[in-house]
């Protein structure tokens, strides 16, 4: 029998994850002993590579969050220990998942202050870029921001918006129009989330710093986005954002700046008002594509009023 320490929890190569998925287990426990020596070494390399970039380019709230959580390079964090620090600060907790979480379930988890967290870690040969989340992206990129109460409230508010979008779409009687409207709203919400929570920039005095997790978990892109003139950076405009497509497999060429997290919260309110006014029902075509599983998760939520 193969030793658990040689199997590991490498993204795309973990039998534990395959078994959980085969058993249709989405929410799981973090099987910490399964992390291999190579998995732990990958965390060390990623952390040591990005930590100096954080000091230069990350917003102060993120740096404070890293300190409050006691994050370090020594080992892959245990979610239970992360939550012991996190929950008293904002009510949030990291919740292990076996893989992709359909959109509605993801946003609804945020509404209830649960953050779906990937437990696998990328292959050590692929340090710079990974198109899908791993534990470094989720814990080192996202979770330090969850220590800030205002930012955490933004996530909850966004989850509420997603739920309202699903419930409201269910009032549309024509099935074809219902699907068209829901897809458009999902596209708008995905773009907003991408350009804020994942790739957002923020004013900090006279400087611009990163708060988006996609930037904060990528040493290369974090520096690139704030030092290269080729990257367009503009004050955020809601209607521009929801109509702006993006690509996930390259460094971003366009980013948006918020003034503060209170500003971001107000933008989510404005996003919902735009939805109520029908302004999200026919946004510009383009990425992201809406897959059937994500669409079904919203339509089922609207039909069943899931909590």
Q: Write the pLDDT tens digit of every residue in 224-243.
A: 999 999 999 999 999 999 99
Give one DSSP letter per residue of 157-176, joined into a string.
HHHHHHHHHHHHHTT--SHH
Strand order in the sheet with 201-204: 207-210, 201-204, 254-258, 232-235
pLDDT at 302 (0 to 100): 58
Q: Which residues of the chain have pLDDT under 70?
A: 1-6, 129-131, 302-307
pLDDT at 1 (0 to 100): 35
CATH superfamily of 4-304: Aromatic amino acid hydroxylase (1.10.800.10)
pLDDT at 4 (0 to 100): 43
pLDDT at 6 (0 to 100): 57
pLDDT at 129 (0 to 100): 64
């Amino acid at each position: 029998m193969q030793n658990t320490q040689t199997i590991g929890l490498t993204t795309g190569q973990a039998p534990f994850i395959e078994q959980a998925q085969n058993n249709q287990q989405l929410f799981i426990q973090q099987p910490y002993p399964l992390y291999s020596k190579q998995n732990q070494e990958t965390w060390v390399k990623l952390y040591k590579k990005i930590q100096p970039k954080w000091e230069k380019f990350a917003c102060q709230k993120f740096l404070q969050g890293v300190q409050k959580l006691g994050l370090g390079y020594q080992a892959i964090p245990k979610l239970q220990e992360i939550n012991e620090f996190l929950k008293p600060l904002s009510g949030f907790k990291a919740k292990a998942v076996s893989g992709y979480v359909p959109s509605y379930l993801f946003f609804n988890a945020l509404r209830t202050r649960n953050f779906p967290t990937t437990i696998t870690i990328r292959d050590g040969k692929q340090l710079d870029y990974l198109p899908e989340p791993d534990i470094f992206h989720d814990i080192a990129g996202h979770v330090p921001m969850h220590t800030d109460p205002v930012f955490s409230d933004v996530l909850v508010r966004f989850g509420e918006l997603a739920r309202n979008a699903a419930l409201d779409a269910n009032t549309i009687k024509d099935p074809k129009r219902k699907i068209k409207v829901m897809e458009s709203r999902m596209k708008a919400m995905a773009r907003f989330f991408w350009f804020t929570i994942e790739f957002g920039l923020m004013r900090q005095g006279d400087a611009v710093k990163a708060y988006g997790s996609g930037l904060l978990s990528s040493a290369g892109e974090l520096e690139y986005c704030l030092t290269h003139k080729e990257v367009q950076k503009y004050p955020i405009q809601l209607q521009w954002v929801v109509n702006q497509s993006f690509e996930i497999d390259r460094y971003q060429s366009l980013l948006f700046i918020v003034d503060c997290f209170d500003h971001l919260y107000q933008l989510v309110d404005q996003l919902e008002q735009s939805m109520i006014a029908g302004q999200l029902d026919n946004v510009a075509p383009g990425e992201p594509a809406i897959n059937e599983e994500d669409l079904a998760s919203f339509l089922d939520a609207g039909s069943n009023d899931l909590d």
